[in-house]
Amino acid sequence: MSATGRRSAAGPPRRGRRAGKRRGGGTRLLNAVAGLVLLGGAIGLQTLHMTEGETSEALMYTGAKGEDVDARRFTARVDSFSTAKAIESNTKTVETDHLFFVVEVSAKSSLQPYHMREAVLVTADGKRFDASDRVDNSLSLSNIWVQPDLWVSGRFFFEVPASALPGASVVLGLGMEVLVEPYRPQVEVDLGLDEEAARKLAASPQAVYSVKK
């Protein structure tokens, strides 16, 4: 009787353990599926937030200040640059504790109108500065239609420390209305600022750079 009682007591726990394993396997499968769904959603969100430069490789055309750099879809030229401690527009004057670096650019398109996107200033050691969001975008070249075979001119405004100027270059590209495609053309212009030239430029900024109309 005692032996039969032990077998009877031992039977149900073994079945319970097997049932428990089956439930655990189902849970792991559901967790794996849920993880894949979340991962897919995260990748989708990341893709939505990628910049245009991250979604396609750039085909870079290089040149120097004063040169017409032909990037096939458009041609760009850096005409001049200067520094200032404040930018004055019709509505406000914006000051900085560092430097406003103002780059004068001319551009034309080849086949159809485009907008230039905001430029990027790249330092000698690879740091990247977007155009300043403290200066109204309507004052920059990115607000002007670049037409076929007609040169237009405008400015890009950067707010940077003086240490960003030696060896710096400016990268120019097309605006967001252009279809994303592989190897989008960009222009990188070497500004020709060695240590001495950059030091002189940083030491003598204009008190106020006016863009009043």
**Residue 20 pLDDT more than 70?**
no
Share of the chain above pLDDT 70, in %: 69
Instruction: Look at residue 126 in the predicted model and tell me its pLDDT.
Output: 97
Q: Are strands 169-173 and 152-160 parallel, antiparallel or unpaired?
A: unpaired
Return the closest-CA partner of residue 146 out of 115, 118, 172, 102. 115
DSSP result, 40-103: HHHHHHHHHT--HHHHS-EEEEEEETT--EE-SSEEEEEEEEEEEEEEE-SS-EEEEEEEEEEE
Is 59 or 2 the better-scoring residue by pLDDT?
59
Instruction: Look at residue 123 in the predicted model and tell me its pLDDT.
Output: 98
**119-150 pLDDT tens trace:** 999 999 999 999 999 999 889 999 999 999 99
Contacts of 2 (CB under 8 A, 6+ apart): none
**Residue 163 pLDDT more than 50?**
yes
Helix (H) or strand (E) holding 28, with range, is: helix 2-48
What torsion, rounded to 10 degrees, do the Cα atoms 26, 32, 35, 36 define? Answer: -120
| Amino acid sitting at position 100 | F
**165-190 pLDDT tens trace:** 999 999 999 876 554 556 789 999 99
Map residue 178 onto helix, strand or coil: coil
- Angstrom distance (rounded) from CA 30 to CA 5: 39
Map residue 29 onto helix, strand or coil: helix
